Each structure stands twice: as structure tokens, then as C-alpha cells.
């Protein structure tokens, strides 16, 4: 055994000796390998997500300056790494892994939900296990071929072994200079804006997903990734210029309508239905006959009130809609982050649940999925919920429909909580059954057909749930809305068939909602026009005659004045100073606008601000 190890050691030593010789003998080859690598890796990253070389060639012909920008950035990174590590194979390995990993992720992400990869998606890297259950991961011969080509280039570089004969003391400054220049181009607006202009990189502000996808077509993968990263960094939330106690007092200085619960406080159940959307509006274009699919939904709607809400997201980023329903505040005022919960301070929050808690309610959040996804278990612990129930916490049998926990299981858990809770119950649930992938069914390629099958099952179970609640001897109100239209594959999807683009996609942010009760509820004050989802908690409060403070009354007044405040739905919407100031106050400020939240929350907020 020892002799075998020594033999391997001698062979390895001989191999490295030959590589050292190659460094001296093949100087021109090594120069070419080093100079051409940034061009090579840019081309491979772009071709990989384009799938076809012909598409890449057409892009280069139409957008040559953008390709030059990509090579420029890749060169800064590569030569910075080369100067740091001295040996080219190390720099090649690091950059190849990074570029191809991003390119493959982009390929799978767009193929899964029609959304392109942006820098903020990297925040979900810890949830990769959860994400793989969503994604259509298809390893194709082309993908394997492109990876092999990159590996061959690395192997050639490793064999010929180009390296720099300069001491570390002389290499460190230029190395850091290259990397710093790259970072500054992306992170410093005063630098990035003129640089992008110089190379004709599209800097159009994209207010919805389709506009963002159009920008991708203009920029390609790498420039798009850099430019959107710059845009997101420049879009960081800053305190409104007029944010102070005096401004808050002026905004909420309103006449408060006297309200109090008439009779017993009703249970309030808020259901945010995953990917629920009514495709019947597109029946003619898609040749659908989906009335039977939505029969259960329609039957419940006839017994209550059906309205239209404007949700702040499309195809993904469920937590945007979830934030608006849990806080009664617009994500627009936070500059539309994909994950608004990442903006929150780690403190008790003035949420809708905390209002109900102050009114003597028991509060619960139910989500039949991993507690770690979107960091919900950690973040939502500050939302005023007495109970957080994730898939591992259910106290009723878990049944699945397709990939995820069946909606019926969630409804069973809600019924059990209502019966077990002595106080009236306020509950928010985010369902999971109808989340993609939609490749399960008789025809795996018929996404819309499979999706509608899942939605039909959900609607039927929802009607059964409502019929069960009719038998309860305690008043109960149920609100249901979809969080967004479903994520469908990026190429040749239903949305392509509908001809959706950045100018006509507002319809995809419109969601029907239902408000239902098992007792006589006055729907006369329900809004007839579409309103943003962040107003819905106040609409429910109005319907059940819940108490009001100055903040709630202000939000009710704002609903009449500005019923829709959403950039995705209306790219031309201006800033609403009142909503922006109130949102900042409750999310990152001193919570001056709250006078109905327990004192310990205010103390926690003050401590967080002091820190």
C-alpha cells in the first residue's frame, strides 16, 4: 500500500513538473488562453441560457456594445483573480463555476416561471431545497455539452499552466483595483449610470415583470444581471424627507368614526390562496370552458360578496401579497422589494394580527410548508400571532394533492382551531396546494389544463369548508383572495399565447376576492371598485364593526382617495406621501402612528431604534 502511494506521488510530481515546463515552453499559447478566457466564459454563459448558438449570434450582431460590456466586466473579475492567485487555472476555475452556475440557474428559473434571475434572488440560496421542489430542472444534451466545453477549457488551462511571475506585494494593489472597479461599476450610481450609457445597456425602469423581461431581451443575461443589481442597490429605502412625529400627527389627525363590535366578535379567517386566478376572462383566447372548474368558488361568492383586489405581484414572490394582508400597508411604499420581510426590523410588529390581539382575539398563522422558507418562522414570530403552524405542526392528518399539502387539510386545521379556541379567532393562512410545478396530470406538457384541475379541486374543497362553517354556532367571517397568477414556463406559455407584454399586463394583477359570513353581514359598504390588497384588512374591519383608531380611520379615508397604490398594476402611479410616511413609520420608524398596539410592542420598537 505504501509503495502504491509513493508511486502515485511520483506520478503526480512528474505531472506537475511537466506543467511547469509547459509554462515556459508554450508562452504564446498561455497568453492566448489568458487573454481569451473572459471572452470565452462570457460567450458560454450567454449561449447556455440562450440554448441555441444562433440566438446568441443574433444577439451579438444586434447588441455588440452590450457584449463588449460583458467582456469588460468579466476581464476585471478574471484579471483581479489572476493577480491574486498567480496561477491562471485557479482564476479560471472560480470564474467558470460562478458564471456557469448563474447561467444554469437563470436557465432553470426562466424555464420554470417566466421570471429572469436577479441579484435579490440570491437571498433564497439557503432555501435551495425548497426551491428545487418548485423548479422544472431538465438536464438537456445541450446543457451537458456546454458544461463539457467549459471543463475542457479549464483542463487545457490547467495543463499548459499559465501563471504570473510577479511578487504578491506588486500584485495585490492592481488585483484589488480590478475587483474594486467591478464592484464600483455595479454599486455606485454615479459610476454605473454613465458606464451603462457608454455601452448602451438598457437602463429602462421596469415596473412589472413583463417590462423586466423586455429589458432582458435588450441586455442579455450578464448585463441584465449587473444592471438590475445596480438598480436594486440604488433603490434602497430611505426615510421620507418629512418623516417626523409632527408629520405623523398631522396625517392621522382625522375624525374617527365610532365603531364597536355589535354582539359577539366573529372569527375572522383570511385565506390567501396560492396561485389562485380566474382564467375565465381569457376563455375565448385560450379556448377554455372552465365554469365547472370555478363552480365551488362561484357558489360561495353568491352567498357573500365578490370584489376585485389589485395584488402587488405576478407569478412569484407570494410574500409581497402576504405582507400587504398582514400589515395593511403597500409594498409600493417600500420601493417594491421582492421580499418585504427582509426589510423589517427584528422587533414586534404593528400588524393586523396585533390589532385583533388587542381586541381580545386569539391569533394564528397557518402555512402547510417548511417554516424555514422565506424565514417565516423567525420573522413571523414578531407579527402578533399566538400560534405559528407549519407543515410539521399540523394537528390534523396531512393529505397531499399533487406535490403539496391539500387545501382540504388546511381547512380541516382551521376548523379544528376554531373549535378548540375559547376566544374569537383571527387566522391568516397561506395555502400551498396550487403552487407549481404543473406537470402532473394526463398530459405533463398541458400546464394550464393541469393547473385548472388543481384549482377546481381547491374550489370544491373551499365550498365544503364553507358549508361546514354554516353549521358552527359562533359567527365566522371568511375572506379569500389569490396571491398572484400562477408561474408558468417561460417559453410558449399561456401568457405568450395571450400576447402579454409590459403595456397590457395589468389584468394579471387583478384578483377576485370573496367575503363570506355564516351570519347576517352588511355588505352595503363593500367597495364596488378594485382596491389594493393592503386595504382589505380594513374592509373586513369595517364589515364586522371593529373598533378604530386614528391609523385605521386614516387608511379607510385613503382607500376612498387612492384606491389603488401599486407600481406593478399602474407604472405611472405617483408617490403618495401619506402612505409612504405611515409605512416607513410602522416598518422602520418609531411606530408613532400606533395607539392601539400593546405598550410592550412600543417599548420593543424604541429599543430597536436605540440599537
The string of pLDDT tens digits covering residues 36-91 is 999 999 999 999 988 888 999 999 999 999 999 999 999 999 999 999 999 999 99
CATH number of residue 333's parent domain:
3.40.720.10
Shared-domain flag, residues 223 and 292 = no
Q: Which helix (H) or strand (E) holds 449?
A: helix 447-470
Q: Are residue 216 and residue 279 in the same domain, yes or no?
A: no
- DSSP letter (8 states) at residue 314: S
Domain assignment present for 439: yes
Which of 214, 234, 254 is a domain's end point?
A: 234
Residues 221 and 323 in one domain: no
What is the C-alpha end-to-end distance of the chain, expressed in Å? 61
Q: Which three cell numbers stand for residue 590?
A: 418609531
In a domain, 185, yes or no: yes
> Does 77 share its domain with 153?
yes
Identify the domain containing residue 228 by its residue range: 2-234
> Do 520 and 442 sit in the same domain of this protein?
yes
Say which DSSP state 24 is in: H
Q: How many CB atoms lie within 10 A of CB 584?
A: 21
- Is-contact 426 362, C-beta < 8 A? yes
Q: Are residues 171 and 284 in the same domain?
A: no
Q: Is residue 407 part of a domain?
A: yes
Full-model pTM: 0.89
Which DSSP helix (H) or strand (E) runs through 576? Answer: none
Residues 201 and 323 placed together within one structural domain of the fold? no
pLDDT interval class at 607 (50, 70, 90): very low
Q: pLDDT tens, 256-295?
A: 888 888 778 999 999 999 999 999 999 888 888 888 999 9
C-alpha span between 319 and 321 (Å, rounded): 5
Average pLDDT of the chain is 90
pLDDT value at 134 more than 70: no
* Residue 320 CB coordination number (10 Å): 26
pLDDT at 460 over 50: yes
Q: Is residue 214 part of a domain?
A: yes
With respect to residue 275, please indicate whether it lies within any of the assigned structural domains.
yes
Does 368 share its domain with 228? no
Within 10 Å of residue 524's Cβ, how many Cβ atoms? Answer: 7
Q: In the predicted model, is pLDDT for residue 417 greater than 60?
A: yes
Pairing, β 476-482 against β 425-430: unpaired
**Are residues 436 and 357 part of one domain?**
yes
Report yes or no on 51 lying in a domain. Answer: yes
What is d(CA 461, CA 523) in angstroms, rounded to the nearest whole number?
24
Mean pLDDT of 318-343: 94
**Tally of domains within the chain:** 2
Quick one: 463 and 328 in the same domain?
A: yes
The span from the CA of 352 to the CA of 192, in Å, is 40
Q: Is residue 256 part of a domain?
A: no
* pLDDT at residue 426, as a whole number: 98
pLDDT of residue 16: 85
Residues 220, 315, single domain; the answer is no
Pairing of strands 476-482, 510-517: antiparallel
Q: Region 346-356: what's the mean pLDDT?
A: 92
| Contact between 116 and 110 (Cβ < 8 Å) | yes
The pLDDT-based confidence of 599 (bands split at 50, 70, 90) is low
Does pLDDT of 606 surpass 80?
no
367-382 pLDDT, tens digit each: 999 988 888 989 999 9
Pairwise CA distance, residues 348 & 204, whole Å:
38
320 plus 460 within the same structural domain: yes
Within-domain flag for 74 = yes
Residue that is last in its domain, among 234, 256, 285? 234
Q: Is residue 430 within 8 Å of 318, Cβ to Cβ?
A: yes
Domain boundary among 189, 219, 234: 234
Position 608 confidence tier, pLDDT thresholds 50, 70, 90: very low
Amino acid at each position: 500500500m505504501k509503495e502504491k502511494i509513493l508511486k502515485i506521488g511520483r506520478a503526480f510530481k512528474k505531472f506537475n513538473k511537466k506543467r511547469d515546463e509547459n509554462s515556459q515552453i508554450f508562452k504564446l499559447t498561455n497568453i492566448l488562453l489568458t487573454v481569451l478566457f473572459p471572452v470565452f466564459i462570457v460567450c458560454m454563459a450567454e449561449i447556455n441560457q440562450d440554448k441555441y448558438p444562433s440566438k446568441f449570434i443574433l444577439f451579438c450582431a444586434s447588441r455588440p456594445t452590450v457584449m463588449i460590456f460583458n467582456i469588460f466586466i468579466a476581464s476585471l473579475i478574471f484579471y483581479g483573480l489572476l493577480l491574486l492567485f498567480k496561477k491562471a487555472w485557479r482564476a479560471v476555475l472560480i470564474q467558470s463555476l460562478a458564471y456557469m452556475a448563474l447561467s444554469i440557474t437563470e436557465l432553470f428559473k426562466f424555464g420554470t416561471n417566466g421570471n429572469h434571475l436577479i441579484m435579490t434572488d440570491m437571498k433564497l440560496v439557503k432555501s435551495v431545497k425548497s426551491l428545487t421542489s418548485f423548479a422544472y430542472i431538465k438536464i438537456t444534451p445541450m446543457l451537458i455539452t456546454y458544461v463539457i466545453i467549459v471543463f475542457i477549457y479549464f483542463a487545457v488551462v490547467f495543463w499548459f499552466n499559465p501563471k504570473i511571475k510577479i511578487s504578491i506585494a506588486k500584485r495585490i494593489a492592481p488585483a484589488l483595483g480590478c475587483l474594486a472597479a467591478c464592484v464600483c461599476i455595479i454599486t455606485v450610481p454615479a459610476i454605473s449610470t454613465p458606464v451603462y450609457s457608454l455601452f448602451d445597456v438598457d437602463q429602462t425602469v421596469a415596473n412589472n415583470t413583463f417590462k423586466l423581461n423586455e429589458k432582458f431581451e435588450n441586455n442579455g443575461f450578464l448585463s441584465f444581471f449587473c444592471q438590475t443589481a445596480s438598480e436594486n442597490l440604488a433603490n434602497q429605502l430611505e426615510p421620507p424627507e418629512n418623516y417626523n412625529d409632527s408629520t405623523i400627527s398631522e396625517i392621522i389627525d382625522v375624525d374617527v368614526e365610532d365603531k364597536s363590535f355589535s354582539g359577539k366578535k366573529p372569527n375572522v379567517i383570511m385565506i390567501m390562496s396560492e396561485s389562485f386566478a380566474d382564467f375565465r376572462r381569457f376563455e375565448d383566447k385560450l379556448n377554455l370552458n372552465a365554469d365547472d372548474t370555478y363552480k365551488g368558488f362561484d357558489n360561495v361568492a353568491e352567498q357573500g360578496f365578490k370584489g376585485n383586489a389589485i395584488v402587488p405581484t405576478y407569478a412569484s414572490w407570494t410574500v409581497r401579497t402576504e405582507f400587504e394582508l398582514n400589515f395593511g400597508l403597500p409594498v409600493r411604499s417600500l420601493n417594491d422589494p421582492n421580499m418585504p420581510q427582509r426589510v423589517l426590523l427584528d422587533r414586534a410588529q404593528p400588524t393586523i394580527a396585533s390589532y385583533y390581539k388587542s381586541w381580545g382575539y386569539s391569533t394564528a398563522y397557518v402555512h402547510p410548508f417548511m417554516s424555514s422558507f422565506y424565514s417565516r418562522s423567525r420573522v413571523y414570530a414578531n407579527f402578533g400571532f399566538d400560534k405559528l403552524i407549519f407543515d410539521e405542526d399540523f394537528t390534523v392528518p396531512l393529505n397531499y394533492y399533487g406535490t403539496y399539502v391539500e387545501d382540504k387539510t388546511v381547512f380541516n386545521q382551521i376548523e379544528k382551531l376554531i373549535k378548540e379556541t375559547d376566544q374569537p379567532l383571527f387566522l391568516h393562512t397561506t395555502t400551498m396546494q396550487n403552487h407549481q410545478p404543473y406537470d402532473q396530470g394526463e398530459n405533463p406538457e398541458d400546464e394550464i389544463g393541469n393547473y385548472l384541475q388543481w384549482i377546481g379541486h381547491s374550489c370544491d374543497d373551499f365550498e365544503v369548508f364553507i358549508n361546514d362553517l354554516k353549521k358552527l354556532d359562533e359567527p365566522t367571517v371568511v375572506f379569500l383572495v389569490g396571491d398572484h397568477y400562477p408561474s408558468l414556463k417561460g417559453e410558449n406559455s399561456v401568457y405568450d399565447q395571450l400576447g402579454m407584454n409590459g403595456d397590457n399586463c395589468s389584468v394579471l394583477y387583478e384578483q377576485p376576492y370573496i367575503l363570506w359570513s355564516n351570519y347576517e353581514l352588511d355588505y352595503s359598504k363593500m367597495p364596488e371598485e378594485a382596491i389594493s390588497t393592503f386595504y382589505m384588512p380594513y374592509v373586513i374591519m369595517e364589515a364586522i364593526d371593529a373598533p378604530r383608531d386614528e391609523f385605521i380611520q386614516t387608511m379607510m379615508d385613503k382607500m376612498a382617495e387612492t384606491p389603488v397604490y401599486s407600481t406593478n398594476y399602474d407604472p405611472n402611479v405617483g408617490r403618495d406621501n401619506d402612505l409612504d410616511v405611515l409605512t416607513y413609520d410602522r416598518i422602520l420608524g418609531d411606530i408613532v402612528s400606533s395607539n392601539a398596539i400593546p405598550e410592550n410592542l412600543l417599548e420593543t420598537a424604541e429599543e430597536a431604534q436605540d440599537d
